[in-house]
């Protein structure tokens, strides 16, 4: 698989690491083990002992070091071997690859490319996951599909009317593809697809968060930032009220390839209203988990079909495919530049989206 390697990918939520445990995951096809040092530093190593290839995560943690469960070799958070039982000298080759790991916005970020290029200033601005003016509902899904299918799915919100009718979708008489979408490319690596839906029936999820069962105005913007971060910015408010008082949410879809056919899907749904309502936080978690369960089923089926039938998707292009196709082409261009130009540095655009759209709604 040809991935964009010199980029930051989400590796987990910050609170997953404490100073006593390790977390093992596979990123971009490579097994990695993560840990937090007693001084607060976070570290990521290749999850493989250089002696007989045993996963270090299958051993144990001894203080701030990892001990292989086969012959007891120990490695510090930088990957250097500190102990080889039964001998005084430590072979020069006894070291483990280290990957840059950083903390920002309440998340762990890993860099799987050239370590010397891992500039923390290139971490995308998704502050809403950890911001006092927003309350997040967080979760994780493991998706049995190529991460690009998830990006396609999130940049084409037209599928909601069929896949998510029980949660966020509109019925066929108000199906989402009937409302025009404006697609644009803004800054390096960023695609935006904006749609407005005035005077519509409130789907179940929006009726819940608004505590309103009449007609609503709704906008939603699908934002894709290469290689694999998406955000759905939506706002809803009752017809007859002001857009300035809209219930607004930034839905962060933090996709990290696990293998060619599986994806880590970390998500955070940050809202700007009823910030201290813990019941609402949990209700949103349940509703969003159900929504993403529905997506996961469709994506897994697509993956199997692609493996069986071969070739890319879509086989034919519809209007709803404009943003997904643009996102794929943009990513392919970045990967091509990375492979061909040793000096190429991808500097992703900022995901700043806190201005209420100028809506033409009644």
Q: What pLDDT is recorded for position 173?
A: 58
| Domain edge (last residue) among 65, 95, 120 | 120
Is 23 found in the same domain as 135? Answer: no
The number of distinct structural domains making up the chain is 2
| Domain containing residue 156: CATH number | 3.90.380.10
CA-nearest of 198, 307, 200 to 243 is 198
Is 31 found in the same domain as 159? Answer: no
Is 82 part of any domain?
Answer: yes
What is the span of the domain harbouring residue 227?
124-340
Is 219 found in the same domain as 82? Answer: no
Give the separation between CA 253 and CA 157, rounded to whole angstroms: 13
Is 242 part of any domain?
Answer: yes
| Domain containing residue 76: CATH number | 2.102.10.10
Is 349 part of any domain?
Answer: no
Is 88 found in the same domain as 223? Answer: no
Q: What pLDDT is recorded for position 18?
A: 86
Q: What pLDDT is recorded for position 245?
A: 85
| Domain edge (last residue) among 120, 152, 183 | 120
Q: What pLDDT is recorded for position 187?
A: 86
Residue-wise burial string across 160-177, b where 16 or more C-beta atoms lie within 10 A, e elsewhere: bbebbbebbbbeeebebb
- Single pTM value for the model: 0.93
Check residue 168 and report its DSSP letter: T
Is 166 found in the same domain as 60? Answer: no
Is 362 part of any domain?
Answer: no
CA gyration radius for the chain?
22
Is 358 part of any domain?
Answer: no
Q: Is the peptide bond preceding residue 227 cis, with omega within 30 degrees of 0? A: yes
Is 244 found in the same domain as 183? Answer: yes
Give the separation between CA 223 and CA 155, rounded to whole angstroms: 7
Q: What pLDDT is recorded for position 362?
A: 45
Check residue 51 and report its DSSP letter: T
Is 199 found in the same domain as 85? Answer: no
- Is 27 exposed, middle or buried (CB count within 10 Å of its CB: 0-12, 13-18, 19+)? buried
Is 212 found in the same domain as 90? Answer: no
Residues 23, 33 contacting (CB under 8 angstroms): yes
Is 347 part of any domain?
Answer: no
Residues 289, 137 contacting (CB under 8 angstroms): no
Is 138 found in the same domain as 92? Answer: no
Residues 176, 158 contacting (CB under 8 angstroms): yes
Is 268 part of any domain?
Answer: yes
Is 128 part of any domain?
Answer: yes
Is 169 found in the same domain as 32? Answer: no
The DSSP result for 254-273, as a single string, is EEEEEETTEEEEEEEEEESS
Give the number of other Cβ atoms within 10 Å of residue 213's Cβ.
13
Is 251 found in the same domain as 105? Answer: no
Give the separation between CA 216 and CA 168, rounded to whole angstroms: 13
Sign of CA dihedral 113, 116, 117, 121: positive
Q: Phi/psi at 163 (nearest 5 deg)?
A: -80, -35
Residues of the chain with pLDDT under 50: 361-362
Is 286 found in the same domain as 199? Answer: yes
| Domain edge (last residue) among 120, 138, 160 | 120
Residues 7, 348 contacting (CB under 8 angstroms): yes
Q: What pLDDT is recorded for position 21?
A: 87
């Amino acid at each position: 698989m040809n991935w964009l390697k010199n980029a930051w990918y989400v590796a987990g939520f910050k609170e997953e690491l404490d100073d006593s445990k390790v977390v093992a995951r596979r990123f971009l096809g490579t097994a990695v083990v993560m840990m937090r040092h007693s001084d607060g530093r976070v570290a990521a190593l290749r999850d493989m002992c250089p002696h007989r290839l045993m996963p270090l995560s299958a051993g144990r943690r001894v203080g701030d070091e990892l001990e292989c469960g086969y012959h007891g070799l120990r490695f510090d958070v930088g990957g250097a071997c500190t102990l080889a039982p039964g001998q005084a000298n430590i072979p020069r080759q006894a070291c483990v690859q280290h990957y840059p790991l950083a903390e920002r916005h309440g998340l762990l970020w890993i860099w799987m490319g050239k370590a010397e290029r891992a500039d923390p200033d290139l971490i995308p601005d998704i502050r809403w996951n950890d911001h006092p003016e927003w309350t997040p509902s967080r979760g994780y899904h493991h998706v049995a599909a190529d991460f690009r299918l998830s990006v396609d799915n999130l940049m084409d919100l037209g599928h909601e009317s069929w896949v998510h009718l029980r949660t966020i979708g509109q019925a066929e008489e108000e199906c989402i593809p009937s409302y025009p979408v404006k697609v644009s490319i803004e800054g390096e690596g960023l695609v935006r697809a904006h749609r407005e839906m005035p005077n519509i029936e409130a789907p179940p999820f929006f009726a819940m968060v608004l505590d309103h069962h009449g007609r609503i105005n709704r906008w939603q913007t699908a934002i894709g930032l290469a290689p694999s971060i998406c955000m759905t910015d939506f706002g809803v408010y009752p017809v007859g009220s002001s857009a300035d008082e809209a219930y607004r949410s930034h839905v962060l879809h933090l996709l990290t390839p696990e293998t060619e056919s599986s994806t880590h899907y970390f998500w955070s749904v940050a809202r700007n209203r009823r910030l201290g309502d813990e019941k609402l936080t949990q209700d949103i978690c349940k509703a969003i988990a159900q929504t993403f369960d529905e997506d996961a089923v469709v994506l897994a089926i697509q993956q199997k079909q692609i493996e069986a039938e071969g070739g890319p998707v879509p086989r034919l292009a519809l209007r709803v495919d404009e943003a997904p196709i643009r996102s794929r082409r943009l990513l392919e261009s970045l990967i091509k530049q990375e492979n061909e130009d040793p000096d190429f540095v991808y500097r992703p655009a900022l995901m700043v989206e806190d201005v209420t759209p100028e809506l033409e709604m009644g």
